[in-house]
């Protein structure tokens, strides 16, 4: 017997196990958008949404992720609902793969496309992902629990002083959005934006999973 065959298998971390458990919970939900379980990852800008969505997608075996930053524009920070519905939700609801146009924040125009397979679970990540107009198609809303001021400080540190003006305008728009269309009350799962611990929310499918992982970025 080779020496390598005597070695124990690599140890999985508790974080990996709990991410796997959360992924299994989401896969067990009833489909919400045609054959797809559409899951929103929402929260303030800078709260850790993109990082957490990426890790969750990996735990789901490579689930597609729709980034709402790709659908928003400088002039329409929150007026992306029509594009999401027509380019993503309607094809998925019909059981077809979707493809949406991607906004280039440097060129200030749409350039390129992104494909979204009609997978068992598809994640929609971004501020407002759990908004009222999208919730009828959602199997779950996940909320990144980090208050707005702390999330903004994290984002400003990441982006540097050259984007301070953009962040000031964004903060006003984000505050106005959540004032009339909050997502947090509808989140059946909440994730601490600092520790990564997951706790059940107050609506929808309940969860008993507790997860600790490092959350950085947006």
What confidence tens digit (pLDDT) does each residue in 19-36 have? Answer: 788 899 999 999 999 999
Full set of structural domains in the chain with CATH: 12-200 (3.40.50.300)
Share of the chain above pLDDT 70, in %: 82
Q: Which helix (H) or strand (E) holds 157?
A: helix 148-159
Structural tokens at position 177: 């959005």
* Confidence (pTM): 0.85
Query: Tokens 């350039």 belong to which residue?
Result: 111
Looking at the DSSP assignment, which residues form a beta bridge with residue 199? Answer: 190
Of the candidates 121, 136, 141, 129, the residue with the CA atom closest to the CA atom of residue 31: 121
pLDDT tens sequence across 79-137: 999 999 999 999 999 999 999 999 999 999 999 999 999 999 999 999 999 999 999 99
Give the Cα-Cα-Cα angle 218, 37, 212 (nearest 5 degrees). 45
pLDDT tens sequence across 128-180: 999 999 999 999 999 999 988 888 887 777 767 767 677 788 889 999 999 99
Please say whether the dihedral angle defined by the alpha carbons of residues 157, 158, 162 and 163, taken in this order, is positive or negative.
negative
Query: Tokens 């520790």 belong to which residue?
Result: 195
């Amino acid at each position: 017997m080779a020496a390598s065959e005597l070695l124990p298998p690599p140890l999985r971390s508790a974080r990996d196990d709990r991410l796997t458990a959360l992924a299994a919970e989401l896969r067990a939900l009833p489909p919400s958008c045609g054959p797809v379980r559409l899951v929103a990852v929402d929260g303030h800008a800078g709260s850790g949404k993109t990082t957490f969505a990426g890790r969750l997608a990996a735990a789901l075996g490579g689930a597609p992720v729709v980034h709402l930053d790709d659908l928003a524009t400088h002039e329409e920070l929150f007026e992306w609902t029509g594009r999401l519905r027509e380019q993503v939700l309607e094809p998925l609801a019909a059981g077809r793969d979707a493809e949406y146009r991607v906004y280039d924040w440097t060129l200030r125009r749409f350039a390129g496309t992104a494909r979204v397979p009609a997978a068992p679970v598809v994640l929609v990540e971004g501020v407002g992902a759990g908004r009222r107009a999208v919730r009828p198609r959602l199997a779950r809303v996940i909320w990144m629990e980090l208050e707005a001021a702390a999330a903004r400080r994290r984002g400003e540190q990441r982006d540097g002083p050259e984007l301070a003006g953009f962040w000031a305008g964004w903060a006003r728009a984000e505050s106005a959005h959540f004032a009339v269309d909050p997502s947090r009350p509808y989140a059946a799962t909440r994730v601490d934006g600092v520790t990564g611990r997951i706790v059940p929310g107050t609506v929808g499918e309940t969860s008993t999973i507790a997860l600790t992982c490092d959350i950085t970025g947006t």
